[in-house]
Chains A and B, each alone.
Chain A
């Protein structure tokens, strides 16, 4: 069988049978109702939703961090040594300057 000839014959058959242009009754009304019922895109609404979602995520992260820092704060007995260490660290360079000046 000549496949090329069959190909040409079938393509010719498709050309001879163009699809119908028939349209369902009142189809244009259906399109119009879709178009009219579709609200125009609101740029603020488009941005507002993701921004709200981002804000909620930020609040959630802040709360989690707050709880975590509250939970991991130093015990009362170690607070004194921490404050002393902190003070020594802050005033260390100043002490060196004073010694140099003398």
Chain B
């Protein structure tokens, strides 16, 4: 019979690290998906996920069981990803690298007929990745959580540890930052 999360956590707390393995197995997919939103290279993604689970194991005593383990783990993952962004903010792309031909085609199509520029296109995904990689760490985190994952301000505040007003301020600034980047990206070509 499968043991519940609470039983596995209790066993891991009592000095049985093997009980932590089913928890890792159960949630690692979601943590990988979260980490892939912030890191491009697979080696970096693996490092983030490893850090999340090691931190989770070390801080297991701090888990009070008031919320599901998954929520607690996701909070830890978001904070670890934010730390990763801050550590690597010097490596952030400061200038737009050449847009690829499919990306330029997609933008051309968007300029002529915005409705015909498909969101399903790989070029659109690559473009948004490039734009996100140019944002500052707080802006990137807020845009990802608020607009892409469609979380509420309150949920973001809980996940990041920021206050609700701070999330709102950072969301406002993040949108302005993104608009500036998009304007700069399209200025040379279309304006």
Q: Which residues of chain A have a CB within 8 Å of any CB of chain B?
A: 1-7, 9-24, 27-32, 34-36, 38
Contact = CB atoms under 8 A, between A and B. Distances in A.
Contacts of A21: 29-30, 32-33
Contact of A10 (B36, B127, B183): B127
Nearest to A18: B33
B46 A11 contact: no
B136 interface: no
B191 interface: yes
A9 B54 contact: no
A7 to B, nearest CB: 6
A32 B54 contact: no
B80 to A, nearest CB: 14
- Dominant secondary structure at the B interface: helix
A28 to B, nearest CB: 4
B147 interface: yes
A47 B77 CA distance: 31
A30 B127 contact: no
A39 to B, nearest CB: 12
Contact of B114 (A5, A28, A31, A38): A5
Contact of B186 (A6, A17, A18): A6
A15 B25 CA distance: 25
A17 B123 CA distance: 11
Given A9-B124, A23-B29, A35 B37 contact: no
Interface of B: 17-18, 20-21, 24-25, 28-30, 32-34, 36-37, 46, 49-50, 53-54, 57, 110-111, 114, 117, 119-121, 124-125, 127-128, 131-132, 143, 147-148, 150, 175, 178-179, 182-183, 186, 190-191
A27 B49 CA distance: 10
Most buried by B among A5, A15, A28, A38: A28
A30 B32 CA distance: 14
A17 B24 contact: no
A7 B182 contact: yes
Contacts of A4: 179
A90 B182 CA distance: 87
Contact of A6 (B17, B24, B182, B191): B182
A41 B92 CA distance: 36
Given A1-B190, A10-B131, A20-B36, A34 B125 contact: no
